[in-house]
A = this chain, B = another copy of it.
Amino acid sequence: MNRADLNNHGDLNLQVDLAGIKLKTPVLLASGPAGYGHEYRELLDFRTLGAIIVKGISLEPWTGNLPPRLAETSCGLLNAVGLQNPGVEYFLKEDLPALRNSGTKVIVNVVGCSPDEYAAVTSRLDGKEGIDGLEINISCPNVKAGGMAFGTDPKATAKLVEKVRRETELPLVIKLTPNVTDISTVARAAETAGADGLSLINTLAGMLIDTENQKPLLGNTFGGLSGPAVMPVALKMVWQAAAAVRIPVLGMGGINSADDALQFIMAGARAVAIGTGLFYNPGLPVEINKGLAGYLHDKGYNSLAEVEGVARRQKGAD
């Protein structure tokens, strides 16, 4: 069997159930890089995706950060977009209708400045046709608590998740930040508070300085690092989160090949998401699907479930 023929995956089962969302394939688009999906639909067949996770949505429009917002680093990308978005009402009216017919599942990434704002966005999204799940981005600064991200504190995380949980029956995936001392306690706090799944990692905090102008390169000084540079850090945190909870984990962070994706799955992830990779290779999700199918075929597996967490079992980590 030729790898190029694997587009339809033969008898192989690449389907996975992520927090109650049935995904055709285990490869998703991470929140942010693909915006609300309009533009990348021309470069990428969305029917090959498990889901698109749309860019963070807040209650009111957010203007985002001062430019420059992007900078390339060694094998990485720094971004400080600042969650610019048009707000939930605009999203429902202008973006959601097209997403309904995009051929893939839709997960909406939710952001806010306070637990009340997260809850209000969730409540507005609840019950809307074409939304298959929510991803709660808890990396936003907790304005009332000195500006540290919600997701850096297990208690703030638990409160936030409980509050959001009350607003919806939709599958709830909590997106964790890697900028913490101990990912396990945050992961457990989210699970206990009612999360159906976890996703990680969000970007690592970083910066660059423009030595010519003697000032930070990004308009916002700090940005978030993504791309292949962060992959080993992401993999370790996925490994730890999967050890800490029983709910499924969506792994992401620098995935650049089917082998990278397999590493996340062997570490315990149910599925994977691609962010930065889309920028430099819009065909990456399709390549990864093919590579995963090829791996299962070559090794004689029937489904991805057979390799989920296999590296952990070997190490006796469960």
Cβ of A98 within 8 Å of any chain B Cβ, yes or no, is no
Interface pair A232/B263, CB less than 8 Å apart: no
Interface size class of A (residues with CB under 8 A): 35 or more
Cβ of A101 within 8 Å of any chain B Cβ, yes or no, is no
A221→B214 CA distance, assembly (Å) = 40
Contacts of A225 in B (CB 8 A): 232-233
How distant is A210 from chain B, measured CB to nearest CB, in Å?
Answer: 8
Contacts of A180 in B (CB 8 A): 181
Set B205, B227, B229, B235: member contacting A236, Cβ < 8 A:
B205
Interface pair B232/A206, CB less than 8 Å apart: yes
- Closest chain B residue to A237, Cβ basis: B205
Contacts of A235 in B (CB 8 A): 206-209
Set B182, B204, B211, B266: member contacting A263, Cβ < 8 A:
B211
Contacts of A216 in B (CB 8 A): 311, 315
Interface pair A206/B233, CB less than 8 Å apart: yes
Contacts of A229 in B (CB 8 A): 74-76, 228-230
A174→B123 CA distance, assembly (Å) = 48
Report the stretch among A82-90, A128-136, A254-262 that lies at the interface.
A254-262
A263→B208 CA distance, assembly (Å) = 7
How distant is A228 from chain B, measured CB to nearest CB, in Å?
Answer: 4
A230→B205 CA distance, assembly (Å) = 10
Interface pair B209/A267, CB less than 8 Å apart: yes
A152-196 residues at the B interface, CB under 8 angstroms: 152, 179-182
Interface pair B211/A262, CB less than 8 Å apart: yes
Interface pair B209/A311, CB less than 8 Å apart: yes
Cβ of A73 within 8 Å of any chain B Cβ, yes or no, is yes
Known contacts A206-B232, A222-B236, A229-B230; A314 and B181 CB within 8 A of each other: no
A221→B268 CA distance, assembly (Å) = 14
Cβ of A215 within 8 Å of any chain B Cβ, yes or no, is yes
A49→B181 CA distance, assembly (Å) = 34
Interface pair A209/B148, CB less than 8 Å apart: no
Interface pair A76/B75, CB less than 8 Å apart: yes
Known contacts A152-B181, A207-B236, A236-B205; A215 and B75 CB within 8 A of each other: no
A sample of 13 inter-chain contacts (CB < 8 A) reads: A73-B228, A74-B231, A76-B229, A148-B182, A152-B182, A207-B239, A207-B267, A209-B262, A209-B311, A216-B315, A221-B239, A221-B315, A222-B236
The 3 closest A-B pairs by CB, nearest first: A206-B232, A74-B228, A75-B75
| Besides the known contacts A73-B232, A179-B181, A216-B311, 16 further A-B residue pairs in the complex with CB atoms under 8 A apart | A74-B75, A75-B229, A76-B229, A76-B232, A152-B181, A207-B232, A208-B232, A208-B263, A209-B262, A209-B266, A211-B259, A211-B263, A215-B314, A221-B239, A221-B317, A223-B232
